[in-house]
Chains A and B, each alone.
Chain A
Amino acid sequence: ELKVEQNPLFLSMQEGKNYTIYCNYSTTSDRLYWYRQDPGKSLESLFVLLSNGAVKQEGRLMASLDTKARLSTLHITAAVHDLSATYFCAVDPGTASKLTFGTGTRLQVTL
């Protein structure tokens, strides 16, 4: 059974600081997604990473994928309050497209 773990589960950081969220998964996959969820809202697609070494950046967020280590990272640069949300990674094991989600990282950026 595919397991996806994120850490930390909760992250409080000050505006302007940098930090990284980690996503580890247990079986081979070459397709990984990052989503953002605001409280009481739906999930917003941030990135899809399709191959080993893939790196994507959007604004202050940068995601990378290392399929050999079964690890993805979401790096936050110079955090701002608007980035406060819960971030999920999700893995597609390559069969039938069902996603297995991580536990989520709740990010709180303080002023």
Chain B
Amino acid sequence: NAGVMQNPRHLVRRRGQEARLRCSPMKGHSHVYWYRQLPEEGLKFMVYLQKENIIDESGMPKERFSAEFPKEGPSILRIQQVVRGDSAAYFCASSPRVQETQYFGPGTRLLVL
């Protein structure tokens, strides 16, 4: 059973470009979570999704950030018009049911030049 998959693993963007981060949950998991980790800090919750629904986006910045988890395909975290402050590691996690252990992917390390 493959774990949570994320791609790309590393992403370099110039200021003003768009970043798209993909996450495929573990097989049988329908709950997906996105977290952001700044250097030397803990993870901060961004958004929680189930198939085709955003359940909780209280950690998402109001502008430039969006997330989706379509019926088919991976979950996507999209950052428009990136700024240097967006440079961070973005982790996706999945769980089979609500309030069960979340399993994390390898992360996407975004660098904005």
Contacts and interface: CB of A to CB of B under 8 A. Distances in A.
Interface string B9-37: 00000000000000000000001010100
Contacts of B33: 97-99
B101 A41 contact: no
Interface string A89-108: 01010101111111110000
A23 to B, nearest CB: 11
Interface in A26-62: 31, 33, 35, 41-45, 48
Interface size, A (range): 20 to 34
A97 B44 contact: no
A42 B105 contact: yes
Interface of B: 31, 33, 35, 41-45, 48, 55-56, 58-59, 91, 95, 98-99, 101-107
